[in-house]
Structure 1
Amino acid sequence: MSGFTFELVPQNPPGAERKTVFLLLAGTAGPYGDVLLRITRYPEEATLIAEGLPQGSISHPDNPGEGLIAVDVQTRLTIGGVGAIISQKRRALRKEDRGYGISLGDRHYTYLRLDAGEEELRESERGAVVRQRGPYRGSRIVMAALPAADATDLALAIVLQAADTTQLTVPGMIVSSVMSIFNNGQGNV
């Protein structure tokens, strides 16, 4: 398949859902059709709804507040009914080493921050499969599915738009660690 670019645009949740939905992102993912990523407040969970892609979700049992989903070893991530195992070298200084390691069945991914605020999903055998610019709260996210990407790669990349990725940079890690001390008195371990 050749690569393509698409946008995920924030939407206003329908009236009854305004109290329960934190963020709603919608777009058309090229040949895979319409996609919707719904991030709910309580319970805090993000769910991918797309007819052309595997179903996916991400949640955290102890997410400390309303917003994007915290990512650590307790994060629950599933794509197409397969649970993922997530790891990260939180004390690493190089951006290549700070990426999230994601094992999804027999696939092994790294999700990392590039220069200029872009993020990239890499699969161990095929290399880069999806890149994205953004997200900036309240604005659109531009995603590029590279030629090597398949439906599972794209579903994973879209679901990861609900993840809190501040830990992917050293400054983000420092700010997050300091803020966690003030959040219920618990440090980031």
Structure 2
Amino acid sequence: MSALTFDLVRRMPLRPSEQRTTFVVLTGTAGPSGEVTITIGTVPRRAVLVAAGLPEGSITHPDATKQGLIAVDERTELTVGGVTAILRQNRRSIGKKGRGISIRLGERDYTYLSVAPCEEELRDSERGALVRQNSPLGSSKAGFAVQAAADTTDLALALLLQGADRTCLTITQAAVSGVLSFLQSGKGDI
């Protein structure tokens, strides 16, 4: 795959029937992969990737009591192209590199981590950085920079992770998210 950049735009559901089942939809055109849509549902809690030039994929979590982005823990199931990934995250690490999400997809080992404020990156243990995502605070757009070493599976994985709750990638995000969660629901999510 050649190097490319593209944007995904956040769209909130407009119709009442769609609002009951959909949390948010991300859409855009990913170069030769064509039109990309990531639908993050509330019932069931599932994010689904639909793109003609990319492998099918989804990320789900069995907890039906929460809404929003899909939580990342040992019960999260992520599938790309029919292969189920194993996800792990060290929430006790102080450094950004230690707090990344470790992903084992078939024979590939990835890490998804925060590399700078508002920037996240999907890295492969052998090929290095593959996809970088930039999402400025308050923006409805997320920019993606895909490296030449990335293939369609790598891009599909990076796009699916946009449906995951990535607030624990830094200590600051985890603390703010935990406090806000406690204030909103009376239960902390740290």
Quick check: 2:177–2:189 contact (8 Å CA) kept in 1?
A: no
| 1:23-58 CA distance string (max 9 Å, x none) | 011111111111100011111110001110001111
Quick check: 1:56–1:81 contact (8 Å CA) kept in 2?
A: yes
Distance 1:130 1:80, change over 3 A: same
In 2: Cα distance, 1:98 partner to 1:170 partner: 8
Question: For residue 130 of structure 2, what is the aligned residue in structure 1?
Answer: 129
In 2: Cα distance, 1:63 partner to 1:88 partner: 21
Distance 1:14 1:71, change over 3 A: same
Question: For residue 157 of structure 2, what is the aligned residue in structure 1?
Answer: 156
Q: Secondary structure at the match of 1:156?
A: helix
| 1:43-100 CA distance string (max 9 Å, x none) | 1110001110001111111155221111111111110111110011110011011100
Distance 1:166 1:44, change over 3 A: same
Question: For residue 6 of structure 2, what is the aligned residue in structure 1?
Answer: 6
Structure 2 length normalisation: TM-score?
0.90
1:144 paired with 2:107, answer no
Structure 1 stretches of 5 or more lacking a match?
none
In 1: Cα distance, 2:175 partner to 2:96 partner: 14
Q: Which stretch has the larger CA shift, 135-144 or 57-66?
A: 135-144
Q: Following TM superposition, by how much is the alpha carbon of 1:126 offset from its aligned partner in structure 2, in angstroms?
A: 0.4
Question: For residue 93 of structure 1, what is the aligned residue in structure 2?
Answer: 94
Q: Secondary structure at the match of 2:153?
A: helix
The one-letter code matched in structure 2 to 1:146 is Q
In 2: Cα distance, 1:38 partner to 1:68 partner: 11
In 2: Cα distance, 1:43 partner to 1:135 partner: 29
In 2: Cα distance, 1:63 partner to 1:130 partner: 30
Quick one: percent identity of the two aligned structures?
A: 51
Q: Which stretch has the larger CA shift, 2-11 or 154-163?
A: 2-11
In 2: Cα distance, 1:37 partner to 1:68 partner: 12
Distance 1:128 1:187, change over 3 A: closer
Cα root mean square deviation, aligned: 2.1
The one-letter code matched in structure 2 to 1:53 is L
Query: Where do residues 49-68 of structure 1 align in structure 2 (5 Å cutoff)?
Result: 49-62=50-63, 64-68=65-69
Q: How many residues align?
A: 188
1:38 paired with 2:36, answer no
The one-letter code matched in structure 2 to 1:68 is L
Quick check: 2:118–2:137 contact (8 Å CA) kept in 1?
A: no
Q: Secondary structure at the match of 1:112?
A: strand
